[in-house]
Amino acid sequence: MSKEKRDLPLSPYRVLDLTNEKGYFCGKILADLGADVIKIEPPEGDPGRDIGPFYHGRQDKEKSLFFFAYNTNKRSITLNIQTHEGQEIFKRLAKTADFVIESFNPGDMDKIGLGYSVLKGVHPRVIMVSITPFGQEGPRKDWKASDIVAIAMGGLSHITGSPDRPPARVSVDQAHAIAGAQGAMGAMIAHYYREATGKGQYVDTSTQESAVLSALTVPQAWDLQRFVWPREGAYMSRARKRVRHLWPCKDGYIAWRLFTGGLGVKTRALVDWMKSQGKAGELADVNWQEMDLLTVPEEKFYHWQELFGKFFKAHTKAELCGEALARGIVLIPASTPKDLLADPQLEARDYWEEVDYPELGTTITYPGALYKSSEIEWEFRRAPLIGEHNREVYEEELGFTKETLTTLKQRGVI
């Protein structure tokens, strides 16, 4: 495969990506930014390839949409690093690498002689990033965590879901994506230092801690006020009232909340619209800028919310959002994936990327660039097939003969 010579921020750099699903996003970010990210998979394929959903629902290591989502722009080689020969080959590759990222259990890389203490001897400039549930040190370093556990231990579940049900999670795994981004941030900070001093280093990333950083000021609320942040579902507590922020409408849900004070004009704008439809009732008489939530009697407040709720129920997302935009009301659709694909703002910003999957005879639409930049022309290559770049890397770069490659394959090394 001919690699484009486009000059992206990380074009000169190589990453060896040993991660499983716990760290994919880290390598994807570096790959999207132009680094030559080589995904190193066991000969039977990366375990994350067994995670669904699958293309057309068919479980197949080459059809995991989960794997596809987080492995664009990477190359793939197979290598069994559990074998001595595999380890020696890995060290040769490490000499050419600027970053090594991995997400095995703490100590696993040391056990096979590929820990940071060894790799820095092989290549002092290398930056090694580990992403594990609880980090490399501490009493719980060997504990297991899938998404639900990491999100719970990081304090996010405690504030997610309705009060009358168990604490909830987002059913699309978040912990590993959050931790992957944090790992990439650590890698880039270490990179800045390396370019200034020539020194590599080790980046020990904890998924639990990454989740804590998404839990906003949950720990600070306890530390400063002895306040336990509750889970309130579609409501939030403001001035001793339960202010609703997510509402059912005719064909789904919308996000809206009753603003007062400076933002009271936004509430006014909605009431004006309701008035024009004859649906405002007593809402028409309220001065939303001057209204003090604290002193409004509860009954009255909840009756107001009921009136708004009825109005939303009578309209579709499109009706509500279209009018909201025209009238300056802060009312936002709760998007489904289908809505997102039709989102005019994403469309106008050319957000979606068509990524070509010739083996499947199709293209797949992806969320595109991480951000827009005056200097970056983003490009997206599909996730690699298992060992797709073995020949390129082993023959062309490391100079293995076809015979050596065949022997290594037979011995289960590649």
Nearest-approach distance from CB 160 to another protein, in angstroms: 6
Q: Residue 314 or 325: which CB sits closer to another protein?
A: 325
**Residue entry with tokens 């900070």:** 189
Q: Is residue 320 at the binding interface for another protein, with CB under 8 A as the rule?
A: no
Q: What's the min distance (Å) between Cβ of 216 and another protein?
A: 6
Q: Which residues contact residue 273 at a Cβ distance below 8 angstroms, ignoring those fewer than 6 apart?
A: 323, 327, 329
Q: Cβ neighbours of residue 250 under 8 Å, at least 6 residues apart?
A: 313, 314, 315, 316, 317, 319
Q: Does 217 bind another protein (CB under 8 A)?
A: yes
Pairing of strands 14-17, 352-357: unpaired
Does 281 sit near another protein (CB under 8 A)? no
C-alpha dist (Å) from residue 114 to 117, 128, 344, 409? 8, 11, 49, 21
Q: Using CB under 8 A, pick the residue from 45, 186, 384, 387 that binds another protein.
A: 186
| Identified binder of another protein from the candidate list 87, 105, 214, 407, rule CB under 8 A | 214
Question: What single-letter DSSP state applies at residue 183?
Answer: H
Size of the site for another protein (CB under 8 A): 147
> Are 134 and 208 a contacting pair, CB within 8 Å?
yes
The yes or no reply on residue 184 touching another protein (CB under 8 A) is yes
In the region spanning residues 374 to 393, those forming contacts with another protein, defined by CB under 8 A, are 374-376
393-412 as b/e: b if 16+ CB within 10 A: bbeeeeebeeeebeebeeee
- What residues contact 49, with CB distance under 8 A and at least 6 apart? 61, 62, 64, 67, 386
Going from the C-alpha of 343 to that of each of 173, 333, 335, 366, the distances in angstroms are: 23, 10, 9, 14
Near another protein in 59-78, by CB under 8 A: 65-66, 68-70
CA–CA dist 229, 207 (Å, integer): 21
Tell me the one-letter amino acid at 91: K
- Region near another protein per CB under 8 A, out of 285-293, 369-377, 393-401, 402-410: 369-377
Give the number of other Cβ atoms within 10 Å of residue 297's Cβ: 8
Footprint (CB under 8 A) of another protein, residues 338-357 = 338-341, 343-346, 348-349, 351
Q: Which stretch binds another protein (CB under 8 A): 170-178, 272-280, 288-296, 397-405?
A: 170-178
C-alpha to C-alpha distance for 401 and 399, rounded to whole angstroms = 6
Minimum distance of another protein from residue 86's CB (angstroms) = 25
Region 191-210 residues binding another protein, contact defined as CB under 8 A: 191-193, 195-197, 199, 201-210
Site residues for another protein, 140-159, by CB under 8 A, read: 140-141, 143-150, 152-155, 157-159
Residue 318 binds another protein, judged by CB under 8 A: no
> Which structure tokens are listed for 373?
């930049």
Q: Which CB sits closer to another protein, 98 or 388?
A: 98
Considering beta carbons, is residue 259 or 400 the nearer one to another protein?
259
Which residue in 60, 111, 213, 276 binds another protein (CB under 8 A)?
213
Alpha carbons 32 and 72: distance in angstroms, whole number? 8
Closest distance between another protein and the C-beta of residue 175, in Å? 11
Stretch of 84-92, 169-177, 279-287, 404-412 contacting another protein, by CB under 8 A: 169-177
Stretch that binds another protein, among 268-276, 279-287, 361-369, 402-410 (CB under 8 A): 361-369
314 binds another protein (CB under 8 A): no
Is the CB of residue 203 less than 8 Å from the CB of residue 103? Answer: no
137 near another protein, judged by CB under 8 A: yes
